[in-house]
Structure 1
Amino acid sequence: MDAIEDELRNFTKVVFIVSLSLTYCYFISSRIPKGKPRLLSVLPVIYILTSFPLTLSSFFLQFYSALCIVWLANFKLVLFALGKHDNISALLDFILVIAFPIKIKAFQHNTNKESPTTSNTGSKCAFKLGLAFVINAFIWSISVLLYVLYKEHISSMNPIVVVHILYSTRMHFGIQIQFALVAALSKLLTGKELEPQFNNPHLSTSLGNFWSKRWNLMINKSLKSLIHEPIRSLFTPVLGRRWAIHPAILATFVVSGLMHELIPFYVGRTRPTWEVLWFFIINGLCVTIEVEIKKKASKSGWKLHPIISTPLTVGFVMATAIWLCYAELIHCGADVREIKEYGALVDYVKHRLRIA
């Protein structure tokens, strides 16, 4: 119980310092001309944010602070230094947009009254989002239960393969659940509509469709603005716009892989084995090949039906993720630590309720 309370105190300090640092960016850095001068002003904040997971001991907090603060928030601060996010008028909105994997939806001002058709569409979208969250939570809870049962009763048979499958499933759906909860909290605090974070990744019809339009759209937008578009512009005079897309795609996947390598480092304090990086390199190479194949296929009028392309796409991503993406976290015992933390948190809540 004392360990959890100490960790909560540490996390409260982290939240306070992050909020204070971003408040400095909002009031001071925003008044500095964009470009190098503003970037220099936010570099101390980037350094502070990068060190935060090292002050925490919980796997759950280390993982999500590395993902959302060290990676996403720092990327957004660089974009802020380049002139993005200047249109956010409220301090709370600025802090939440930088620190959380969210983006406030930009509305078109329309003086016409909302038609019944539009209203019905909005209701249906809200229902679908709620249903997706319930399904993700159900599958995640089943994967956790199966993992616990497997480790307790039959782990001696062939632990590594089954552990990788169950852990990959748990992480795949768990990330979507956590992001959805963060979005719900942000919407409650700001009262504003947010852009979707995921777009039914299980319906992806190609690798390009999965990575660019369906999976983790918040990180995707940052990578596109900070890596993909500048690299493509850099290579366009040399290769032409048609071929410049390939180094842009590969650079984006390499940077994403390197940033993902930081997560096992923060969680396990171990040297990287580069398995996560290879996962992204393999997927990036396959996306570049897929781009050329689709161009040739479209010229001949040939197109793979979604009934075939969807299971092939999702199957490939899941197979490579099971093989490589979460291997480093399993090597450093993150899968076991996570389950123990869930149990400890449940016991802590029960203890506090009994006291109350």
Structure 2
Amino acid sequence: MDEELKSLIKVWISAIISISYCYYIPPRIKSGVPRLCSLCPVLALFLVLPLCFSSVHLSLITAFFLTWLANFKLILFSFDKGPLIPLPPSLSRFICFTCFPIKAQQNPKSQNHMPKLVFAIKVAIFGVLLHLYGYRKNLSPALLLALYFVHLYLEIEIILSFIKNVVCIFLGCDLEPQSNKPYLATSLQDFWGRRWNLMVPAILRPAVYAPMRRVSERRMSSGWALFPGILAAFIVSGLVHELLFFYLTREMPTWEVTMFFVLHGVCTAVELAVKKKTTVIQRWQLSPVVSRLLTVGFVIVTGGWLFTPQLIRASLSYRLLKIRMKQRLKAIEEDVWTAVESGWTEPCVKTKDGEYAPKPKEQWTETDKLESKFNSKAIYEIFNAINAEQFKLVQGCSSAKDAWETRIDHLVAIMRGLQLSKEEDLII
């Protein structure tokens, strides 16, 4: 935990220094490619910083804030576009608007804040969902899948709402909502463009959709040029999600997540093409309730087909590794496994000042030496059981317990809710 805290401090100090540079220097450089070149070192740094963590949560959150949001906003900033234009009046606002999925409200009086009661209800429902995972063996796979997506929505909503409120208090300004009741979407266009994670489409429109549409208009009419723009935006979103999954699992992408977004891009384009046929729309007009069920159902079903399998496989592989490693360590010697369970700390002695310092090795007792030996054997076996990318996360661990919990235990814990079949439940 101490190492993670140190990494967290170092990463965000580096991020703040880098964004401060972006606030003071690049605006003095001509917009376009010259300004983009001045930002390239920062963009590259933000790709690397999430790898500094061994914690899944810290790595994923940092990747979302810096690798995804900050990098795309800074690229748009290079061309005088996006949410960072006009330049915020203070460095603190520039840092917050760069890193976080927030945007200042243009007309604060026209929008209402989410009532505190609604937020409390969402937190309560989220707590109930976590409790339900304890009974997952008695739940059908379809219900588990639906619960997972409700879980995903509520977790994102709670985290982003918390960040929004903290930043709102810190900056003293009103901010736009991050989502707009996505469960009420009546179409895919409505879901992705106007309701779900609104900061993402606000970035992808000027960064991907608009340039692609302008290029396409050179070869086709304006009405048809929007379709390549839509597909390009969804493809880029898919690739970014593949990168986020890499930070989460540290495994090579399977491209299923990209296919999920490509599928939704194609379906959204087809949906818009059908809407252009007014006679078809008038003949097949659906009620809002049916439209909402079809839209949300399509997102859940396709998500279960393409979005979650990579997470499930990662969870399964780590649970298998956990079982095999436990038996292997016990086979070497029972005390080796005890070193993983109980943990090991370097022997210390109390100094004259009343503080503790490492005990000189010549003063180690036989028990100290044995405990160190068992810990070293356990670490050696754990290091040999993981790949090079995973080794980077645990190479600084001096305790076998820390190494175990860092790479083998935490992914199992975070993905337990994704166990959707009896075969997987057998190996928990």
By the TM > 0.5 criterion, same fold?
yes
Of 188, 191, 203, the residue aligned with 1:207 is: 188
Secondary structure in 2 matching 1:20: helix
Give 1:172-251 correspondences, 5 Å limit.
Answer: 172-251=153-232
* 1:58–1:341 Cα contact (<8 Å) kept: no
2:306 partner amino acid: L
Distance 1:49 1:175 in 2: 22
Q: 1:301 to 1:165 in 2, by over 3 A?
A: closer
**Which structure features the higher share of helix residues?**
1
* 1:232–1:247 Cα contact (<8 Å) kept: yes
Q: 1:220 to 1:300 in 2, by over 3 A?
A: closer
TM-score normalised per structure 2: 0.70
Is 1:322–2:304 an aligned residue pair? Answer: yes
* 1:60–1:338 Cα contact (<8 Å) kept: no
Q: Which has the higher contact order (CA 8 A, sep 6+)?
A: 1
Distance 2:118 2:304 in 1: 23
Counterpart of 1:102 in structure 2 is 102
Q: 1:299 to 1:106 in 2, by over 3 A?
A: same
Deviation of 1:100 (Å): 0.6
2:193 partner amino acid: S
TM-score normalised per structure 1: 0.83
Counterpart of 2:61 in structure 1 is 64
Distance 1:270 1:162 in 2: 28
* 1:34–1:82 Cα contact (<8 Å) kept: yes
Counterpart of 1:34 in structure 2 is 31
Distance 2:128 2:176 in 1: 28
2:79 partner amino acid: L
Distance 2:22 2:193 in 1: 30
Give 1:41-60 correspondences, 5 Å limit.
Answer: 41-60=38-57
Distance 2:52 2:14 in 1: 12
Is 1:146–2:115 an aligned residue pair? Answer: no
Secondary structure in 2 matching 1:104: coil
- Matched positions, count: 320
Distance 2:180 2:18 in 1: 32
Deviation of 1:141 (Å): 2.0
Deviation of 1:257 (Å): 0.4
* 1:73–1:98 Cα contact (<8 Å) kept: yes
From the CA coordinates, give the structure whose radius of gyration is larger.
2
What is the percent sequence identity of the aligned residues? 36
* 1:136–1:174 Cα contact (<8 Å) kept: no
Q: 1:53 to 1:162 in 2, by over 3 A?
A: farther
Distance 1:55 1:330 in 2: 24
Distance 1:341 1:301 in 2: 47
Is 1:134–2:134 an aligned residue pair? Answer: no
Q: 1:101 to 1:233 in 2, by over 3 A?
A: same
Q: 1:339 to 1:322 in 2, by over 3 A?
A: same
Distance 2:304 2:94 in 1: 36
Deviation of 1:94 (Å): 0.4
Structure 1 stretches of 5 or more lacking a match?
Answer: 109-117, 343-356
Q: 1:240 to 1:63 in 2, by over 3 A?
A: same
1:288-325 deviation per Cα after TM superposition (whole angstroms, max 9, x unaligned): 11111122146763432202101111111111112222
Of 152, 167, 180, the residue aligned with 1:171 is: 152
Is 1:19–2:1 an aligned residue pair? Answer: no
Counterpart of 1:276 in structure 2 is 257
